Structure 1
Amino acid sequence: MRGIYFLVFGVLFMSGLRAQEKFLTKEGYVSFFSHSIVEDIKAENNQVLSVIDTITGKIAIQLLMRSFIFKKALMQEHFNEHYVESYKYPKATFSGKIMNFDQLDNRNIETEIVGTLTVHGVEKEISTKVDVAIKEDEITLTGNFKVDVADFNIKIPALVANNIAKTIKVTFELHHKPYK
């Protein structure tokens, strides 16, 4: 009988450990900012899905392009219909690795994240600094990076070329909780 209790406890304990290998958020934050001489454009998305594998340091991020919210509805419409063509390319993704993740402990540290960003059907390797805050029940990643619009084959009509920056600043904040 003691053997059965030990076996049940062992299975429950091991499955609890396995669950802690993955941390997840469905409410991550990503924004982008375009500064030009004519106007500034900012959009925010609070529906970002992200998963971290704490054993390997791998990370996957996905967001719907239509989930970006702009101050002006017309900007949002143009963004989705004319620039990122969200009907054709509905998602943006990032698949990569948090460098030296196995050496991080329960503290805040700056490290590097490298991987492939896919936007508008175009994949591009990126690398950027990221602030990682690790607690027992949460892993938070914050940072920003710049992307060139042309790298993702996003066409800007000449009529509005001065309204949209050629380089966009992307900011992110992702609060991951243990996946159960």
Structure 2
Amino acid sequence: MKMNKIIILLLLFNKLISFNEASNQIIARQGQVSFFSYTSVENIEAKNNQVLSIIDLSKKEIAISMLMNAFEFKKSLMHEHFNESYIESDLHPKATFKGHIIDFDPSLKVQTRIVKGIVVIRNISKEIEVKTEIQNINGKYSIAGNFDLSVKDFEIKIPPLLAPNIAKMIAVKFRFEYEPYEK
């Protein structure tokens, strides 16, 4: 009889710990990431509204994952070239980011913080630091920012003939709106 009570207490304790961990996590299921490439010939712009992100408020960690072929372009030929020739999304279907929000205070309403971590594109890892604006309105968090990525850092091969048509630095913008994570 005593053993059954101990087992029940252990199970309840385990559930309490799991619940507590989940309550410290927030999720954005439809975050937005866009990029812009300026050139003298033609600007290239794309948006992805199917980006997943999770923040662990207690650990101050953030993770982001997105499918590369979910970027939408104004021209279908740009979408095709992006996925087939440059990103090779059949070989490298997603990009990820894992990082830490420096000096993050979940209780503040508005704060500007640096997010430091590793972005992985085409299976190539690069450490980055991004200045972000974080808002907490009645327990609903949003995070937004922008940064530049170098095409060269991710070994994206651009034929010499097309090199003038693609910028060497790509401007990236993001915005995520979070809600409590429920398993």
With structure 1 as the length reference, what TM-score do the two structures score?
0.89
Q: Alpha-carbon deviations, 1:52-105, whole Å to 9, x = none?
A: 00011101000000000000000000000000000000000000011112x342
Q: Secondary structure at the match of 2:82?
A: helix
Q: Tell me the number of residue pairs that the alignment of Structure 1 and Structure 2 aligns.
A: 171
Partner of 1:83: 86
Partner of 1:108: 110
Residue 57 of structure 2 contacts residue 106 of structure 2 at CA under 8 Å; is this kept in 1?
no
Q: Secondary structure at the match of 1:159?
A: coil
Q: Which runs of 5+ in 2 are unaligned?
A: 1-8
Tell me by how many angstroms 1:121 deviates. Answer: 1.2
Residue 106 of structure 1 contacts residue 136 of structure 1 at CA under 8 Å; is this kept in 2?
no
Q: Alpha-carbon deviations, 1:97-119, whole Å to 9, x = none?
A: 11112x34231111100000000
Q: Which runs of 5+ in 1 are unaligned?
A: 1-6
Residue 58 of structure 1 contacts residue 96 of structure 1 at CA under 8 Å; is this kept in 2?
yes
Alignment of 1:1-180 (within 5 A): 17-101=20-104, 103-180=105-182
Partner letter of residue 61 of structure 1?
I
Residue 106 of structure 1 contacts residue 135 of structure 1 at CA under 8 Å; is this kept in 2?
no
Tell me by how many angstroms 1:13 deviates. Answer: 7.8
Q: Alpha-carbon deviations, 1:7-54, whole Å to 9, x = none?
A: 9xx979876544320100110000000001111100000000000000
Partner letter of residue 89 of structure 1?
H
Mark the CA change 1:107 to 1:83 in structure 2 (over 3 Å): closer, same or farther.
same
Whole-Å separation in 2 of the counterparts to 1:154 and 1:16: 43
Tell me by how many angstroms 1:134 deviates. Answer: 1.5
Whole-Å separation in 1 of the counterparts to 2:40 and 2:111: 36
Mark the CA change 1:32 to 1:19 in structure 2 (over 3 Å): closer, same or farther.
same
Residue 37 of structure 2 contacts residue 43 of structure 2 at CA under 8 Å; is this kept in 1?
yes
Task: Tell me how large the CA RMSD over aligned residues is.
Answer: 1.8
The percentage of counterpart residues that share the same residue type is 43
Q: Secondary structure at the match of 1:154?
A: coil
Mark the CA change 1:14 to 1:136 in structure 2 (over 3 Å): closer, same or farther.
farther
